[in-house]
Structure 1
């Protein structure tokens, strides 16, 4: 095996960078959707509960690959109509944007349940104490509930991010040039499937180890003071 992987080394490195960008972008979108979904499911209003439950159930019931394909190909007509309205008939949703939306949507559905469990794990007495101190609902949530919610939810969110990192490979089916896409190109050109797929596997493993290390440090920082108070 050539040290530069038959000339595909730089392309695979660029693919790794694209994978990281895709995963982090989907993570940001998914966290917002997950938090909104959890707030809806824990709301006292039935319509919001129904909306949050429908989002979580619907998205989790369909494979991630199908969401990638549905969002990428399903927006063609809508984007074309919007483009004609704006005077840009070539307007289209690119593979990166479709991947971010699809993976963020899926991450958010699972994160909804993680956030919901974290919110329910916080004793009601903490909210009652905030009310007794005259704090508004917004301040109670941001100053009392959210910090504890993040600490409880971090392990679950970390596991979901590991899955998200690997699910980025699904976006290769719509042409995004991430790790798997470049690996497949290398296989096609060199007829060395084991070499390129093994390198791709090692690259995903390396990214996962880095992400796990980051999550461990975040969990350790979030738990600072709590472990000491338990002793």
Structure 2
């Protein structure tokens, strides 16, 4: 994803922000979301075939680069696998539980990924992040994230005009709390989500949030894998 493509992605995100809550533009908003979302996953997600941010990240990447912790960057100390975990967990929780009212896909993937943490990664202590980075199964992690992305696309296609204005149900927030989806120190995240509409969740956890973290991953790779 070159600079021109990044610029176009950001401009399209502004367009999506402007139209997503307008019932008359619902279908156009969904299609634009699907295009934006596809850039954040492995190529072929939408059948377009263009190289994506994830394609760029995984090309020739070494396992030691994926797992490296801590990293010395201005805006993060976390490993690439941590960032991938974090964005997958956030998207899984917000799309599958808060918007769809279903179950997290994580419960079917935890053992495969060889992880003990069930939370989002927010407020993770350094020793936790180091242990996670050393033991997580990267292949299973990529597969989990892909499953989350595919499910997000199904959910988006199922939403009806006007639903993007729906406020998050407090009962669904409580459900995440009961599942340990965030650490006690990160309950502020549930408060933040609780004040959002479906549109707000789509515009951040499902699109802007992974875009930001994937950019960090690419900078980590550039620095440590010459």
TM-score by length of 2: 0.27
Q: Relative to total residues, which structure has the larger helix share, 1 or 2?
A: 1
TM-score by length of 1: 0.26
> Larger radius of gyration, structure 1 or 2?
1
